[in-house]
Amino acid sequence: MKRLTKKQAKLARERVKNPDATLSELSQRSAYHDKATAARELKKPHVQERIKDLMDARPALKDDALLKKLEEGLEAGKTEFFPHEVTTGFEKVLDAEGKEILDSKGKPKLRAVKTLEIVTRDCIDYPTRHRYLDTALDLKGHKQKKVDVTSNGETIKALLLEDD
């Protein structure tokens, strides 16, 4: 493997340390003058190899661990929460003076006592599964092309996969 410069080594470390960092942030942290230069450096095979080596040195970033997370993401679910009103009992209706109000049969008038419960439902998290599927297809080398397909005057979104 080609030897890395100090800047390239720092750029590789910063990429692994801060995977969500923008190119601007990476270029500043690794002493590159602009993000275009940092982007060019990140594409170089020996820099990419160093990033892979640094990732492999961290157990959570090894291929097996990443594949396990990818598989989990393809089965992503979520819990949705819904408020639900429940009658928990009844109480006597009182007038302004605190006396019971009677119905036409002379019995105390009652009203329902209600409480709010939160009901949960487990369901499939389609947006998350879709992002994980995009990642898996990308890793497998399938190029994705998003297109609009018109049929009977209706536009629908379609995803075409192209093999290399």
Q: Per residue in 52-80, pLDDT tens?
A: 889 888 888 788 888 898 899 999 999 99
Confidence label for 163 from pLDDT (cuts 50, 70 and 90): low
Predicted local confidence at residue 148, as pLDDT: 65
User: What pLDDT does residue 67 have?
Assistant: 86
For the stretch 86-144, pLDDT in tens is: 999 999 999 999 999 999 999 999 999 999 999 999 999 999 998 888 888 777 767 66
CA distances from 103 to 10, 113, 114, 145 (A): 83, 18, 21, 71
Q: Is residue 164's pLDDT more than 60?
A: no
pLDDT score for 84? 93
Give the CA distances from residue 82 to residues 76, 125, 143, 162, in Å, rounded to whole numbers and listed in that order.
20, 16, 40, 42
* Dihedral (CA of 15, 18, 19, 22) sign: negative
DSSP H or E stretch at residue 69: helix 63-74
